[in-house]
Structure formats: C-alpha cells, structure tokens
Chain A
C-alpha cells in the first residue's frame, strides 16, 4: 500500500522551566501571565535572581520599585541581583 501525505499540521507546546509552578508574588502559574498582562510567554517573561528564585518580571519590578532602600528577594530576603 502506498500512502501519500497531502498535508500535515505541526503542533507545539511550551512551558517555562522554573523551580516552582507559581510566581511567589502574584500566585499565578508561571505558564500564565502576571495579573497585569493578558498573553503569557515572551510578553510576560520570567526573570531569575542570583539567589535562584524566579518571578514574573513585572511582579519583581513592581516589588523593587516599591522598596525605597533595600532590594531584597521576596522569598529568601537576600539582596536581589538579576542573574545574567
């Protein structure tokens, strides 16, 4: 029997590889967006700190902006530094 493929449709899934399922700040799943965004993925990315904790970038930026003096990781209270 000879089969001729006339057309095919590719399907892909994606997910963030993070050490947790939910953002510790907004409690939304990492694979969903932060509460200020509608579309997850590159428009609402994750960022990691040198302490290895990770958050939606919009969530951690909101927290750092609200802090006048010390910039600490919400999870471990070490000084927050973005991982390169």
Chain B
C-alpha cells in the first residue's frame, strides 16, 4: 500500500491517512495501538485500542476507539467514539461512547492527527479524579444523533 504509484493514485485524504497509519504502526504512542488488519482494509474507518495509563483511575482497563473520516479529512475532523463493551466512565464521555472534546469539533485543526487525538484522549482520562458519567448522560443518550459531530457541544470544563 505504501508503494509510491499506489499512493499517487489515492485521493488526498487517503494519502494523508495512509501516511498517518504507517507512522502510527511504526511509532505508536504508549498504550495506543491501531488495529492494522481492519484499518488497512478500509482507510476511512479505523479501530484503535487504548489502555488506561499506569497510576491513573483507568490503569489495567482496555478501550476501543472508532475513527471515521470523510473525504474532506484533514479539513474536516474525524468522527471519534468509544465502542465495544468497555466505555470509560468519565465526566466527558457518554455511555454511548460519545466524547465531549473540543478538538473533535470547533477546535479542530488540520495539523492535528489520529496520534494527537489519541494523546488528548489518554490525557483526558489520566487527569480524571473521579469516575462518573456526565450529569446529563441519560437525557443525552436518549436524544442525541448517532453522529457525535451533529451534537452542539457546550464545552464548559477544562479541568478534567
């Protein structure tokens, strides 16, 4: 896939995704690893495994993140949600896996990447002092769109 002629035939968004995938496989940040088989089959949908950092409330836990990219990536932010049986219990993470994190919507920049998003999420988990769901969890989960990017997020707390 990283053969130059194949790369040249790819759309700009896929070319960037292929570069990111190669570097994430080669140099993964601590506790993060991308599901290579699933992701190589379909570059627009990635599964990333994440483990809770040592010395934090999430130590020893395993999580899965799903990334979905539009053809406008990196000008358009990816749709990022926790999936699977273990959704972290955290004041900014809803029980349906949606994450309230400003870089995923209004503070997105095309200089960010899958790697920098993963680092932000690891650090968001690591700085948590009490495991609890957001106060409006049950209402949000009942009424939200499937796509977290359609939520008008109200970012009000930078401490956790």
- Asked whether A74 lies within 8 Å of B16 as measured between CB atoms, the reply is no
CA distance A72 to B15 in the complex (A): 24
Within 8 A of B (CB), among A22-57: 24-28, 34-36
Contacts of B109 in A (CB 8 A): 72, 74-75, 77
CA distance A66 to B108 in the complex (A): 12
Interface centre among B12, B20, B72, B110 (most CB of A within 10 A): B110
Contacts of B20 in A (CB 8 A): 27
Interface centre among B16, B19, B74, B107 (most CB of A within 10 A): B74
Smallest Cβ-Cβ distance to A26: which chain B residue: B16
Total cross-chain contacts (CB, 8 A): 34
- Asked whether B75 lies within 8 Å of A62 as measured between CB atoms, the reply is yes
Dominant SS among interface residues on chain B? loop
Contacts of B15 in A (CB 8 A): 26, 28, 35
Dominant SS among interface residues on chain A? loop
B 114-151 binary contact with A (CB < 8 Å = 1; else 0): 00000000000000000000000000000000000000
Q: 28 pairs across A/B with beta carbons < 8 Å?
A: A24-B111, A25-B111, A26-B12, A26-B15, A26-B74, A27-B16, A27-B19, A28-B15, A34-B12, A35-B11, A35-B12, A35-B15, A35-B16, A36-B12, A59-B110, A62-B75, A63-B75, A63-B110, A66-B75, A66-B76, A72-B109, A74-B109, A74-B110, A74-B111, A75-B109, A75-B111, A77-B107, A77-B109
A 55-82 binary contact with B (CB < 8 Å = 1; else 0): 0000100110010000010110100000
